[in-house]
Amino acid sequence: MIYFTSDTHFRDSRVLRIDRRPFASMAEHDAEVIRLWNEVVAPEDEVWHLGDFARGDAETISTLLAGLNGRKHLIIGNNDGPVTLAAKDWASVQHYVELSVEGRMVILCHYPFRTWNQIGKGSINLHGHSHGRLKPVPRQFDVGVDAQDLRPATLAQILARRRRRKA
């Protein structure tokens, strides 16, 4: 399976205040986000993390990555520092990717776009950065944990979430 997520902000206490995540401490936050990730993602699955992974030194980042199931790719976010980018546990690190997933062209970037490649042919833009605060536009989806019940989701789950909200 292929999963998408963003804006985990492990070890970044700003998310408790700014994003009002429902945890008393960062230790509680990180433990729950890790638990939910591993509840959903199997070791053989692939995960595209669309930026703002964590704060910390090399050992902290490596420990976090080792504790999360799946083969992990990073799409670079504005809060991903050199230590995060250099972590050896990423399968790939880049700013932008175009993938074919379940027969759909999917455009991945940390930031939401106003337009993207093959938008007129049904392609989908997955992004993070906005923490669930942007008004949705057609075929554009925020995959950050704030918009996805704190866990990674498949493309089918992401698309179904939008359909449920319209109903």
Average pLDDT over residues 118-145: 93
* pLDDT tens, position by position, 52-104: 999 999 999 999 999 999 999 999 999 999 999 999 999 999 999 999 999 99
Asked whether the beta carbons of 69 and 42 are under 8 A apart, the reply is: yes
What per-residue confidence (pLDDT) applies to 132?
A: 85
Nearest to 104 by CA among 139, 75, 136: 139
Q: 142 falls in which pLDDT band (50, 70, 90)?
A: very high
Query: Are the CB atoms for 88 and 115 separated by under 8 Å?
Result: no
Strand order in the sheet with 104-109: 96-101, 104-109, 124-127, 140-142
The two three-digit tokens of residue 33, written as one number: 């986000």
Which of 3.40.50.2000, 2.10.60.10, 3.30.360.10, 3.60.21.10 is the CATH number of 2-166?
3.60.21.10
Name 6's Cβ contacts closer than 8 Å, sequence gap at least 6: 49, 50, 51, 52, 75, 77, 110, 127, 128, 129, 142, 143, 144, 145
Question: Is the CB of residue 138 less than 8 Å from the CB of residue 166?
Answer: no
User: Which range scores top for mean pLDDT: 13-17, 18-22, 38-42, 137-141?
Assistant: 38-42
Q: Which of 66, 74, 29 is nearest to 47 (CA)?
A: 74
Please report which confidence band the pLDDT of residue 110 belongs to, taking 50, 70 and 90 as the band edges: very high
The runs of H, that is alpha helices, within 8-109 are 14-18, 26-40, 58-66, 82-86
Compute the CA torsion angle 8, 146, 137, 1 (nearest 10 deg): 60
Q: Is 163 helix (H, G, I), strand (E, B) or coil?
A: helix
pLDDT value at residue 131: 87
Answer whether 37's CB lies under 8 Å from 59's CB. no
